[in-house]
Amino acid sequence: MRYAEAVEAFVVHLERVRRLSPATVRAYRSDLGDLGGIAGDRELADIDLELLREWLWRATQRGDARTTLARRAAAARSFFRWAKDEDRIAADPSLRLVTPKLARTLPVVASKDGMRELLDAEKDAAAQGDPVALRDHAILELLYGSGMRVSELCGLDVDDLDMERGTARVLGKGAKERVVPYGAPARDAAAAYLTRARPALLARTETPTPALLLGSRGGRIGPRTVYALVARVLAPIVGAETVGPHALRHTAATHLLDGGADLRAVQEILGHASLGTTQIYTHVSAERLTAAYRLAHPRA
Active site residues: 149, 173, 246, 249, 272, 281
Partners of 43 in the β-ladder: 2
- What type of residue is 123? K
Q: Is 194 helix (H, G, I), strand (E, B) or coil?
A: helix
Q: Are 159 and 210 in contact (CB under 8 A)?
A: yes
Distance, CA of 213 to CA of 234 (rounded, Å): 20
Distance, CA of 61 to CA of 54 (rounded, Å): 10
Distance, CA of 139 to CA of 38 (rounded, Å): 44
Distance of CA 170 to the CA centre of its chain: 13
CA separation, residue 95 to residues 5, 20, 30, 261 (Å): 22, 23, 21, 39
